[in-house]
Structures are given as C-alpha cells and as structure tokens.
Amino acid sequence: MGETNTTEILEIVRSISNLERLSRIKEIVETAVKRGNTATEIVEKGIRRGLEDVGKRYESGEYFLSELLYAGEIINGLFDVLKLYLKQDEMKPKGIILIGTVRGDMHDIGKNIFGMLAQFSGFKVHDLGVDVEPKRFIEEVRKTSPGILGMSTLLTSTLPQLKVVIDELKAAGIRNRVKIILGGNAVTKQFAEEVGADAAALDAVEGVNICKRWVAAQ
Amino acid sequence: MTPRERIKAVINFRKPDVLPWIESMYDETVLAWFGQGLPPNKITMIEWEVGRAGTSLCNWPAVKGFDAYSYFGCQSFYGATIPVDIGPIPRYKLKVLEQDDRYVTIRTETGAIAKRIRGPEQTWYSMPMFTEFPVKDQKTWEAYKKRLNPKDPRRYPKDWNRGDYISACEDYQQGITTMRFNGFYGFGAELMGIIPFNLMLYKDPELIHDVGDYWEYFMTETIKDAVETLKDRVDMIYWWEDMADKHGPLISPKLFREYCLSHYQNVTSFLRKNGIDRIMVDSDGNINPMLDLLIESGITGIWPLEVNSGMNGIEVRKKYENKLFIIGNLDKRELAKGGEAMRREVNSKVPALKEMGGYVPGADHLIPVDFSLEKFREYADCIKKLLPYM
C-alpha cells in the first residue's frame, strides 16, 4: 500500500473511532477506493480497526451502548457502499458463530448486538433467534458446523437451560466440536465454568474479543 | 414508630427505632408460593363493596389482592401510590394480533407490539420480545403526543378531592406514600425501543430534544395539582429509568447531560419547591458512572443496586455519604440459595450499612419466581434479627 493509501485508511479508522457523521465517513471510504485501496483492505485495515477502537473505548468506559450502536450504524452504512466492490471470494469469514437465546427467554437485544459486532468483525453469524429449544441448537451445530456456539439468557429462571444444551451436546458426542460462550445478564463467569462452557462475556464487545482470540489461537 | 415513619427516617438519614425492610414481589412469585404452602387465608385482602360491579345493592366481599409483605414482616416498596395517570389517554386498544400453541403477539396499551411465550413456561413479569414501537420519527411522535394531554380529566381519579386525599395521605402509616414517574431515558426507550432510541440520540437530536421537552412539560403539568396539594405528604418519588446493563449505562453520561439533565433538574426543582426532596431512581444494571450526574439532576436515592452488575452499596455509601439513600443491594441469587450463602450476603452488608445510615435493606430487584418460599422464609428469619437497634 502506498503512502496516500495508508493516510486514507488511517482516516477511516479515526473517523469511525470518533463516530463522525456517516455521510462524511462514506466520502472518505469512496476516496480511498478511488485512490486504489481494495475493498478488502478498507474493510480489514480501516473499518474493522475503527470498530476495534470503538470497542476499546467502550471497554474503557469512554463509550456506552449508545455509541456502540451508532458505530454499528456507521459500519452498516459503509458496507452498503463497499458491497459494490467486495468480491465474495476475497472476504473469507474468520469463522462461523451460531447464536441464540435459550428456551423460555425472549430477550434478544444483547444477542443481536453481539451478532452485529461479530459479523462486522469478520465472522459469519447464524442467528437462531429467541426461545430456542435445546434440540434445535444440537441440530444446527450438526448442520452448520460452527466453530463457536454463543448462547444467551437474561433471566435467572432460564439459566438452567444453558446447562441442558451443553449436556445434550455432550450426550450427542459433539461438545468438543464447538467452543461455547455464554452471555446475558444472568450469566457469570463462575456459572459458565460450573456448567462446562468455555467462556462467559460481560458484554458484546468482550464476547467478540474472546471469539477473535479463539480464532487467532487456532 | 409506624412503618411509614421508619422508612421516612432512614431515607432522610435519621435513625429509626427498628430498621425497615422493603421488598417487592412479583405476583407470579406469590402465586407460585401458594403451591409451596403459603396460606392464602393469611394474605388475601378482602373488601366489602357494592356487589357484582354495581349490579346489585347488597354489599359483597371481594378479593382485592394479596399482602404477603405483612405476613413476612417486610414492607411493600411502593406503599400508597398517588393515582395520577401519566400514561397515554386514550390507551391503545389491547389486542391479540396473532397466536399459536407457543406464542401470543399483542398490541399493548402503550402502543407497542410484543410477542410472548404462552403456556406453562409463560412468565408474565419477564419482558416479552418487542417487535414494534409506536414512535419511529417526528410524525409518529406528533401522533403519540395527542395522547399525552396533561389537562385530560381522566388523569386524576374520579374521587379526586384535595381534602380527602390530604387526610388519606396523613392517615396511611403502613408504608410510604409515593408518586411514580418515567424518566427521560426510560420514556424514550419505551416509546421507540432501546436500540432505535439510542440510535436516535445520534441520528435525530431534534426529535430527542422535542421528546424530552414535551415529557417535562407534560409530567410537570400533570402532577402539578397532586404535588401542590399533597406537598411533603408524598414521602418519596419513584422514578423508573432502567438505563443500564451489566457493562454500564445504556446512554453515555455525555448524552445524558445533553438530553436529560436539565429536564431532571427542572422537575426536581419543582418538587423541592413543594417540599418533596426524597427522589429515587430505579435502574437495574451498573449505574456507577451515572451517580454524579443523577445527584446533579436532583436525585437523592437509588434502587436496586444489582450486585450481579457490580453495584456495591457500601462503596456507594462511602463515596456519596448522605447524598444518596440506598434501597436493596442484597444479591437475590445468593438469597435464593438459602443457608450459608444467604447468611453471608445478609451479614456482610446489612449491619455495616445500617450503621452508616440511609439504607433500607432488601433484595436487589423484585423477588423472582424461582426464589422458593422455604428460602424466603429462611431469609426473612435471618434479616429480621438484624433490624432492631439495641
């Protein structure tokens, strides 16, 4: 990449990180394309790094949900611009994540934010929705072969469902095919350990960072 | 001291004769407890009224609800609530839009569309999945505003009579008298949904300012008569917000300052002028990053300080001293385990916070349906031993 191209990419990172107006960032991205950056470079080195910056600022307590969501809105808008230039074969996903909220729980906000961030971070995400029956998780693990299974619940009353799914994965002999990450208000790291999950995430940003670490370690 | 006097003393940082203990229970939990041995005849509230909804003139006993609080020796969170209606009038028509064996989709009285689980797993007090909200933009907000007319006579009860309500407020001693509001974040999130509202904070600032301005005007005008009539007979304002999750606030402090602070200050200033200065915000989640701003807003108390979200009552008390009274902060998950886990939770907090003052003990949210009657009895026995002052 040449000097000018690097400048454009850094400008994308900075403007996403600072949550500048979408129309302004779109202009920067379009300029970067015109100056010879490939769409893949823009996504990998510009947009995803910008999102990582937003995630860091979220984790450090500078940004909150409102900022995280707006960053998602920005990135969605940028992908709209870039999809004209992106070739399917250039963007191999980092991995596949299967997500869902367990049976008996209809909460989906945290799960959806995790799914959005994971997707923008390069994962292919299969979202099973809410109130997902254990057998559906098992079937979909078999069908989609995800590297990671993310399950969520907000309610203490539906916490036991997480263990039900993990136990059924074990009974089906496929527990070791997937890393399991848990999320949601009721979940703690201690609980995740007790039920045999691989990790629990306090929030969507931490969850995606854990998934990225797992993939990097492979 | 009466139960009311005890709570008033504590939230004003005075020492009562016995520390009050406050809980809030889902009706669903109480119903589950009936199946576990809670005696219905001990907690059922029955009142005589003109029979069969006024179709006959004979007086007839009618079940008015359950009072499990007195049975266990605690007080209900809400006490006597001043019945001023701040909801949309007319209400949206509650309507079933779709249903099958597993789900029912309804339009709620506040205009949202919500999908719930049906059948034995149904938990009415857990949130459904909202699929649509009544306000999406300026046009839909203008339409919604028409339902928020502060002058609508239906906002006050038919029997609203200032003298009678003053007497009733003075006579009531079983708990505190409260008024309940929706906060400036919570109201917007209810109107548009959490995610759309948070995005609008960035995408359409004009709309958000208009919502805040109107909500302040509407609320102040609506409550004016009750506040100016009852004044400090209203012991506490209960301001619902739910503006945080485990990570922290859903709205950043910067945006709260921009969109909410001045509205809070204007309303709390109006309340203070009328002698009401015990003003509590109800927010789940980790609201530590918001506490300075809430104090600047005129807020003087918080509930429930969810332990699972990292809230620590002792730390809050040390940092904010008597600027914030605290209610709750006993980890419901530990309490529900009973035994040593429950005792450890109670004993590690109640004696210390009791000594520091300005603290009413209770679980860090409503008592959930999976909290068994046996464990709640055990918890009640444990906490009641700590309440008297020697």
Q: Which residue in B363, B358, B359 sits closest to B346, CA to CA?
A: B363
- Alpha carbon distance B28, B26 (integer Å): 5
Residue B55 has pLDDT above 90, yes or no: no
CA distances from A192 to A9, A196, B262 (A): 39, 6, 42
Residue B347 has pLDDT above 50, yes or no: yes
DSSP codes of every residue in B90-156 = SPPPPEEEEE-SSEEEEE-TTS-EEEEE-STT--TTS--EEEE-S-SSHHHHHHHHTT--TT-GGGS
Residue B171 pLDDT class (50, 70, 90 cuts):
very high
Q: Which domain holds residue A57?
A: 3-89
Nearest CA-CA distance, residue A200 and chain B, Å? 13
Contact across the interface for A107 and B129, Cβ inside 8 Å = yes
| Residue after which a domain boundary falls, among A41, A60, A89 | A89
Q: Which domains does chain B have, with CATH numbers?
A: 3-84+134-384 (3.20.20), 93-133 (no CATH)
Amino acid type, B303 = W
What CATH number has the domain bearing residue A167? 3.40.50.280
Same domain, A116 and A213: yes
| Residue after which a domain boundary falls, among A21, A55, A89 | A89
Question: B367, B331 in Cβ contact below 8 A?
Answer: no
Same domain, A183 and A117: yes
Q: Does residue B375 belong to the interface with chain A, where contact is any CB pair within 8 Å?
A: no
- Give the percent of chain B with pLDDT over 90: 87
Residue of B nearest to A133 (CA): B102
Residue B124 pLDDT class (50, 70, 90 cuts):
low
pLDDT score at A171: 97
> Which of B104, B195, B372 has the most A C-beta neighbours within 10 Å, making it the best mutation to test the interface with A?
B195
Its ipTM equals 0.88
- Alpha carbon distance B363, B25 (integer Å): 10
- Domains identified in chain A, total number: 2
Same domain, A70 and A127: no
pLDDT score at B133: 97
Residue B125 has pLDDT above 60, yes or no: no
Question: What is the mean pLDDT of the segment spanning B248-277?
Answer: 97
| A44-49: long-range pairs with CB below 8 Å, 24+ | A44/A122, A45/A9, A45/A13, A46/A8, A46/A9, A46/A10, A46/A12, A46/A13, A46/A16, A47/A12, A47/A16, A47/A75, A47/A78, A47/A79, A47/A120, A48/A120, A48/A121, A48/A122, A49/A13
* Residues composing chain A: 218
How is residue B201 written in tokens? 């904070």
Question: What is the mean pLDDT of the segment spanning B203-207?
Answer: 96
Please write the tens of the pLDDT for every residue from B281-295: 999 999 999 999 999
pLDDT score at B142: 98
Same domain, A147 and A82: no
Same domain, A108 and A83: no
What CATH number has the domain bearing residue A10? 1.10.1240.10
Same domain, A83 and A117: no
Strand extents, DSSP E, chain B: 22-23, 44-50, 59-66, 75-76, 80-81, 95-99, 103-107, 113-117, 129-132, 177-182, 236-240, 279-283, 301-304, 325-330, 359-363
Q: Does residue A77 belong to the interface with chain B, where contact is any CB pair within 8 Å?
A: no
Low-confidence ranges of chain A (pLDDT < 70): 1-4, 87-90
CA distances from A179 to A211, A214, B32, B147 (A): 9, 8, 37, 50
Same domain, A189 and A104: yes
**Which stretch of A150-159, B108-117, B305-314 has the lowest confidence by average pLDDT?**
A150-159
pLDDT score at B54: 72
User: pTM surpassing 0.80?
Assistant: yes
How is residue B100 written in tokens? 């099958």
B194, B201, B248: residue with CB nearest A61: B248
Contact across the interface for A106 and B195, Cβ inside 8 Å = no
Q: Are strands A148-152 and A199-200 parallel, antiparallel or unpaired?
A: unpaired
Same domain, A15 and A45: yes
B116, B249, B336: residue with CB nearest A106: B116
pLDDT score at B6: 97
Same domain, A81 and A113: no
- Alpha carbon distance B318, A104 (integer Å): 40
Looking at per-residue pLDDT, the higher value among B327 and B124 belongs to B327
A64, A106, A205: residue with CB nearest B252: A64
**Which stretch of A156-160, B186-190, B198-202 has the lowest confidence by average pLDDT?**
A156-160
